[in-house]
Structure 1
């Protein structure tokens, strides 16, 4: 199965089993663009390579997901993600401020805070009249005031989550329990911790106006990519039991949900897919622009299957808008199409830019 790519972007056609064990053809494209203030994204001179596997910042269990593999077979909606920093208004250090990310009609606002900590509250308690000295007891945790900061990394490590203190056993190599919604986070404390414990980093990324209470779990908030084993994705992976092993393997479980493939925070998945040409706005997430404004390119991609007895088109869905502003102003867009392999076998696959016209003579209302 050969793909003729007439685009300036890396692409790949590959095979994928469907739920019934039949093979599908998946065409996946990754395009690298550059933000231009107040204008449409420009095609970057240097394109990122096709992403063969998930890419992490170091250990996958200790660092964030930076790129999702382009071998993902399908997505029900468009993922919108952001990697980078939040910048204080006017460049002046502030204790807290709001940031926002909007693409088209979908948006999310968050509040970021300078470094702050849970400080242990210790009280003296006497065991009885015979006690020679008081015992120091941890009775509470108090949240310190946030320190002024000029920027805050928009990383999952600054959001609620992480390890649960008092769990795990290094001697038996038993790993500690973690917050399944964000294993990389911070801010979990309890009264079982040692009385001489140092202050613990508290979440710096929250919902606007959210009040933290160490006794109550908070919903982790962020704009970054989510790893496959985090709760928001793992809950859609399906059931892997003896029935699956004996009756389905190597196919996915019958209760597998395609939402598993979405790598954005659930609040940042646009359903139906974005079409392209939507405008976007990022507030206090750009090093120079307090409000970064731009527009997605208004392009549509299609793959043409031409054989001795067929001439068919499949339009790709725009299923990813990924801002990576850690070092520059790049924005990655990903497109994908999935169709029966029978439609691709014995044909020439050509990937190109297309225009949609329901009145066109081209099959499916698509014209090159």
Structure 2
């Protein structure tokens, strides 16, 4: 009988399903949760592995809060932040920059108070941003949205990179744009210049599987796929589909631990700096009487300042083809853990 023995203080899970080539594969995931304080510490309550996408509101009509962590391997590490912009000392501001730096990845989002398009003698103009103390960092407040023209039998236009956002004017007439909200979250290098602008949606959260650019990596599900490939993934499937972070926060390879982390203006507690824990984990699989230790790659770094929480998720993959039922035991252990080490 298959047993998973986990001697680490972290959460672990396993699953068997076909990989990109349709070969039955054992996937082992280990998720470590740390408390963010003056120093990092192992959280007394470890967060479970997310089995399916969880949304901020209605699925399909809102953005993803937590992405599924049961899937094939990612080709590189995702960095994600969930939280809200927070003005220093909780004072009112009309705009501020939120920044996240992890290793070589740096992402800055400029956060504005509520604004709208207002008509005047010289056309539409932006109103001044309203004061705020905090602002949710969700894609609903970034550029995007839809323009439903079904009443005129002209179909629906939408921003494929963020259909739940705001500011997308589509084919609306000027009088219909008057009073429309302007996104709160913007890229400082690509600020909105007019009501017809289409900047990149700005944010730090997960990208939904039906949004671009993830959708373009999913492959082709046509008649040929149905006849020759289904139910396996299509031949042109790209594993980058499983990179769910904002494209600016997808690393070039796997992080190893020890990389610097810095977050600015995303917590009422103020800015913080730390280093990713250096954690040497091991997953030993006994398959048909033989032991194997597939490499564990760090796939996700999730920062939740409001929860004073940082999570890291590693995954290993072991193709077992027709021997899936011969997986006898999985031993998960920790070889070393350093909460203050710096990357070499």
Q: Does TM, normalized by the shorter one, top 0.5? A: yes
- Distance 1:331-1:355 versus aligned 2 partners, 3 A rule: closer
Q: Residue 91 of structure 1 corresponds to which residue in structure 2?
A: 90
2:168 is equivalent to residue 188 of structure 1: yes
Give runs of aligned pairs for residues 54-133 of structure 1, distance below 5 A: 54-121=53-120
Question: Aligned partners of 2:188, 2:229: CA distance in 1, in Å?
Answer: 45
2:239 is equivalent to residue 258 of structure 1: yes
Q: Residue 268 of structure 1 corresponds to which residue in structure 2?
A: 249
**Shift in Å, 1:146:** 1.3
Question: Is residue 140–residue 191 contact of structure 1 (8 Å, CA) maintained in 2?
Answer: no
What are the Cα deviations for residues 90-145 of structure 1, in whole angstroms up to 9, with x where unaligned?
A: 43322222121011221111211111111134x7xxxxxxxxxxxxxxx8421112
Question: Aligned partners of 1:16, 1:196: CA distance in 2, in Å?
Answer: 49
Unpaired stretches in structure 1, ≥5 consecutive residues? 124-138, 357-368
- Distance 1:185-1:5 versus aligned 2 partners, 3 A rule: same
Question: Is residue 212–residue 218 contact of structure 1 (8 Å, CA) maintained in 2?
Answer: no
Residue in structure 2 matching 1:225, options 206, 223, 226: 206
Aligned Cα root-mean-square deviation (Å): 2.4
How many residues are paired up?
Answer: 333
2:214 is equivalent to residue 215 of structure 1: no
Q: Residue 20 of structure 1 corresponds to which residue in structure 2?
A: 21
Question: Aligned partners of 2:209, 2:171: CA distance in 1, in Å?
Answer: 32
Question: Aligned partners of 2:256, 2:42: CA distance in 1, in Å?
Answer: 17
Question: Is residue 142–residue 202 contact of structure 2 (8 Å, CA) maintained in 1?
Answer: yes
Normalising by structure 2, we get a TM-score of 0.89
**Shift in Å, 1:285:** 0.8
Unpaired stretches in structure 2, ≥5 consecutive residues? 338-344
What are the Cα deviations for residues 297-354 of structure 1, in whole angstroms up to 9, with x where unaligned?
A: 211222112467533222311111112234x212222110112125873542211113
Question: Aligned partners of 1:249, 1:159: CA distance in 2, in Å?
Answer: 36
Question: Aligned partners of 2:160, 2:192: CA distance in 1, in Å?
Answer: 21
Question: Aligned partners of 2:88, 2:48: CA distance in 1, in Å?
Answer: 35
Q: Residue 167 of structure 1 corresponds to which residue in structure 2?
A: 149
- Distance 1:192-1:56 versus aligned 2 partners, 3 A rule: closer
Q: Residue 142 of structure 1 corresponds to which residue in structure 2?
A: 125
- Distance 1:307-1:76 versus aligned 2 partners, 3 A rule: closer
**Shift in Å, 1:51:** 1.6
* SS class of match (1:177): strand
- Distance 1:19-1:64 versus aligned 2 partners, 3 A rule: closer
2:291 is equivalent to residue 311 of structure 1: yes
What are the Cα deviations for residues 182-233 of structure 1, in whole angstroms up to 9, with x where unaligned?
A: 1111012367447376511101111225242212211111101111000111
Q: In terms of mean alpha carbon deviation, does 70-79 or 186-195 score higher?
A: 186-195
What are the Cα deviations for residues 162-196 of structure 1, in whole angstroms up to 9, with x where unaligned?
A: 112x52349x8x97432110111101236744737
- Distance 1:211-1:307 versus aligned 2 partners, 3 A rule: closer
Q: Residue 342 of structure 2 corresponds to which residue in structure 1?
A: none
Normalising by structure 1, we get a TM-score of 0.83
2:292 is equivalent to residue 293 of structure 1: no
- Distance 1:311-1:112 versus aligned 2 partners, 3 A rule: same
Question: Aligned partners of 2:97, 2:182: CA distance in 1, in Å?
Answer: 17
Q: Residue 185 of structure 2 corresponds to which residue in structure 1?
A: 205
What are the Cα deviations for residues 276-313 of structure 1, in whole angstroms up to 9, with x where unaligned?
A: 12221001111111x21122221122211246753322
Q: Residue 317 of structure 2 corresponds to which residue in structure 1?
A: 338
Higher gyration radius (CA): 1
Q: In terms of mean alpha carbon deviation, does 3-12 or 235-244 score higher?
A: 3-12
- Distance 1:302-1:142 versus aligned 2 partners, 3 A rule: same
Q: Residue 365 of structure 1 corresponds to which residue in structure 2?
A: none
